[in-house]
Structure 1
Amino acid sequence: MNPPDSPHHSQLGATIGAVGGPIGILAGGIIGGVIGGLVGSKIGQKAANLVNDGMHALINSGGSQL
């Protein structure tokens, strides 16, 4: 039971919380961005493959005889 010590501890906790909050948000944003970028590139690759396959199918099926 030492009242003079408790304000110091609560201040330290508040400081760690204030610093940790933005760091957590930044880390979440970076991780989210990386995951989002990977997912986006996978979808992009899939779409590009579908377009390429479609173009090849058109060209190979005689679609180039316009």
Structure 2
Amino acid sequence: MALPKYKTSRANTHSRRANWKASAVQTAACPNCGAPALPHLACPNCGSFRGRVYRSAIKSAHTK
């Protein structure tokens, strides 16, 4: 079990945590309307997924 003898400095801590970056979400173009949509989910613009149209999927409350 590791037991550090000295306190880790802020510079070492920040430089270690600097590599934890968030990446942008990859989107794919909707084949129905061409709007960007998340893969494996219904399109938020037209509500279609794999050739079917799901009317309940159109415009979620969180989307402006």
**RCO (CA 8 Å, sep 6+): is it higher in 1 or 2?**
2
* TM-score when normalising by structure 1: 0.31
Which of structures 1 and 2 has the bigger CA Rg? 1
Answer 1 or 2: which has greater helix percent. Answer: 1
